[in-house]
Amino acid sequence: MGTVSAILLVFLGCCSNVVSLELLVREFPGCGNIVTFAQFVFIALEGFVFETRLGTKKPAIPISNYVIMVTMFFTVSVINNYALNFNIAMPLHMIFRSGSLIANMVLGIVLLKKRYSPSKYLSIAFVSAGIFICTIMSAKQVNVASEGQEERGLYAFMRWLVGIGMLTFALIMSARMGIFQETLYKKYGKHSKEALFYNHFLPLPGFLLLSTDIYNHCVLFSQSTPVLVPLVQLNVPVMWLYLLVNVVTQYVCIRGVFILTTECASLTVTLVVTLRKFLSLIFSIAYFQNPFTAWHWAGTAVVFVGTLLYTELHPHANWGKEHGSRMWSRGGRCQAATHGGGISACSLWHSSAVTVKRACIPHVQPFDPSLGLARFPSRSFIPRS
């Protein structure tokens, strides 16, 4: 499958997934757990058949390491979806999760002792400012919506603050998981499809803790308005159809990004997914008529400018400009040592594109001199929430 086909899968799958999720959330705001459970079951079944060959293929990475990764992945996935039950609108949900760049950089500095170029810090400042603007404006809307009902307004605002706290925690946990993944792949090599399977299969018992909520929403879904499905001539509750569409499009989205990372550079993947996210946001505002003020638009623009700055659209501008930068060829391979953290022609091969479910901004890792000789190619896709 070529690059064009992969891009079509990304736009079709990811945009459709956002639409189906909003249809579910607008009817039942607390349905995040059943949506997450359905997605995990579908991807786990597909991976069990095609990746593990019905359990006959041994994992390349020890299960004990996957247990740690899965604990973080499960927590992030559940919290991100469940936050929608706390007065978090979909546009804010999409914009706020763009803060993954901030979390990745901060933890990279603290835990991995990485250094970045000034342009990276500038881009993070843009993203932070944009998210701050959108968050403050959304807080005002929560207050305005409950104006004249002081107790109800305070309760709604406190629930909104809990939702913001959940999204913040999920961002930090997701970034920490990314660092853990990075250390695993340095040691055992990159096995993205295997990680995709175990990240969705191993957490399934954890949904027993959410079984009551999942069952209650199964009942609510079954009581929704039935619609006729032409192909099978059966009346099916509309919420189950929305859930089916969400699960299938989630898989198409993940597969599309995975294929794209094998067809082109991770910088291209970053730009494609960023554009996809922007279109999803526009559609969410226009079709579902979500409240979006001029300040929201300003904040969104600042976030996307910061994201594009982070990817450094003209990587050749960094050649020879970063302090201590040098490149050479050894045995037909390219090696670079870039102390400023810029992206060079060599480091692009070593960068990793990380995409998040639904509305995510992928993270392009700057080259780390401590990694030594870069392998050709070393792009990877690890879906995270």
**pLDDT single digits (tens) 364-382:** 333 333 333 333 333 333 3
Question: pLDDT tens for residues 201-257?
Answer: 999 998 999 999 999 999 999 999 999 988 888 899 999 999 999 999 988 988 887
pLDDT per residue over 70-100, tens digit each?
899 889 888 988 888 887 877 777 777 767 7
Give the whole-angstrom CA distance, residue 361 versus residue 158: 28
Question: Would you list the domain boundaries of the chain?
Answer: 3-371
Measured CA distances, 132 to 136, 205, 301 (Å): 6, 37, 12
Indicate the residue type of 147.
Answer: E
d(CA 78, CA 228): 32
Dig out the tokens for 261 from the structure. 């990372």
- Please tell me whether the overall predicted TM-score, pTM, comes out greater than 0.75 for this model: no
pLDDT at 109: 85
Taking Cα atoms as reference points, which of 18, 138, 97, 167 lies closest to residue 307?
97
Tell the residue number behind the tokens 């979500």, with chain if given. 290
**Per-residue pLDDT tens digits for 142-181:** 555 544 455 467 888 888 899 999 999 998 898 888 788 8
Q: How far apart are CA 177 and CA 22, in angstroms?
A: 27
Contact 384, 356 (CB under 8 A): yes
